[in-house]
Structure 1
């Protein structure tokens, strides 16, 4: 009887030990799963600046958001590159910001316009230059875009409107403070920048 009682206690202790080990494994696995989900959810939380105030937003599926981000990046680059005022420091600041969004083709176009005296003309004629985006065509298979818009040159005595069509390619890169969308424009070129209208301002 004593032997049977000891054997029974051993079996019970063995069963308790096995159950304890299984319970511990379940707890460890559950903790890993919980931690993984917590990290994944935190990665989907991003902050954007709204007038200098950080605002928490949630990311949705990247494949759904990316085309929107591509268009936003293309529009932002063109707005920075072509929004000019008769102020040398303002022009340099905008150009510097725009060049974070593009490869060396942006710098080459800037140097080309500078050599032609375009920026000096903006300053000397007291002009304001802005753009109006009409549409942006994306080819996601080739990661290529075509930008359609108008360049408005507002002078004291004249209002010029020029067509602006450009194209380039897109490359996903690491997000940085200077490139929040994580998109680099490559092989950019202007296809058409012809004048489409001119309005004289008399009596000024």
Structure 2
């Protein structure tokens, strides 16, 4: 009888070890499958570009992950193009052409209004050089269309002195197809702009 109990005890012990081993193998198998899938997904997001026998790696990511940064760059680039004015009318026209690719008719209406007021003509004839410096770009990417506000300084340099204006603009942004002229795949809509003089001096320094 004692031998029977001993055999039964050993059988239960073996069964417990077998169950533990099976559970361990199952856990290892599940972990391996998950790890392998993650590696496959990560590898599938990699793009390799070969240029002149040199290999470059790029990563594919969700467009919404980097959207706020792309919006800020899009707005910074647009303001630099639209508000940078040199005494060369051809340079002004080239900047405006590039700016129009990034925006809609609301910007074109602002441009036409400035034309009617002889703004660009007076700037060119007065040999005025205008540049901008972006201070802050506030982006709300939680809703669509995206909303943004840009605060920037406008510096005007002429023979008689230098003037600084504080500019503020608001707009909506929508997704469009990415192109060479609009690499961020965004277009500015409902653009509104206002400015106030902050300083005018012969000795103003940036």
Q: TM-score, normalised by structure 2?
A: 0.70
Please identify the structure whose Cα radius of gyration is greater. Answer: 2
Structure 1 residues 56 and 39: CA distance shift in structure 2, 3 A: closer
1:166 is matched with which residue? 169
Give per-residue Cα distances to partners, 1:114-139, cap 9 Å, x unaligned. 11111011111111101010000111
- What is the alpha-carbon distance in structure 1 between the residues aligned to residue 131 and residue 76 of structure 2? 12
Query: What CA deviation, in whole Å up to 9, does each residue of 1:25-78 have, x standing for no partner?
Result: xxxxxxxxx8x9887544xx78xxxxxxxx874344433211100000000000
Superposition CA RMSD, Å: 2.4
Q: How many residues align?
A: 157
Runs of 4+ that moved beyond 2 A: 36-42, 55-64
d(CA) in 1 for partners of 2:57, 2:125: 44
* 1:44-83 matched pairs, under 5 angstroms: 57-83=58-84
Unaligned runs of 5+ in 2: 1-39, 50-55
What secondary structure sits across from 1:99 in the alignment? helix
Structure 1 match to 2:198: 196
Match of 2:154 in 1: 151
| TM-score, with structure 1 as normaliser | 0.70
- Residues 81-103 of structure 1 show CA distances to partners (whole Å, capped at 9, x for unaligned) of 00110011100000000000001
Cα distance, 1:140 vs structure 2: 1.3
